Structure 1
Amino acid sequence: MSPEEVERLNRAFTFSLKSLHLVDRNDPVSDIVARKVIEIDKSGAHDPHEIAARVAKEFGIPE
């Protein structure tokens, strides 16, 4: 994984945690969020904000 990919995923993860109001990265839910970020990225979405929006939607958070 390139440094750019790592940075993109980290930003998407951070945005996702904020949108879900999660602050503890050690929370088991954060692990689920991380896996979902990776899954969405692999599906072709590469914009961190778009990924975070899709994560929030999958967790039932309205836009």
Structure 2
Amino acid sequence: MGPDEIKRLTDAYEHTLSVLSVKDRDDLLAELIAKKIIEIGQTGLKDPAQISARAIEVIGLP
């Protein structure tokens, strides 16, 4: 992963945590979110907001 991809995934992760009001980074939900963000990022999707929305949809949270 290059710096641009890491930034996109980090932005998507931070956005998803914010939307879902996850404060504890050690929470299992935060870990699940991180894994889904990486999986979705590897599909070629580039926009952090779209990656975040897709992760929330895949996890099945509102």
Identify whether the pair has TM-score above 0.5, normalized to the shorter chain: yes
- Counterpart code for 2:9: L
Bigger drift between 52-61 and 4-13 goes to 52-61
Aligned-CA RMSD value? 1.2
Aligned length: 62
Q: Which runs of 5+ in 1 are unaligned?
A: none
Matching residue of 1:26: 26
2:22 is equivalent to residue 40 of structure 1? no
Contact 1:16 1:56 in 2 (8 A): yes
Q: Which runs of 5+ in 2 are unaligned?
A: none
Identity in percent: 39
TM-score (norm 2): 0.86
* Over 3 Å off, 4+ runs: none
TM-score (norm 1): 0.85
Bigger drift between 46-55 and 21-30 goes to 21-30
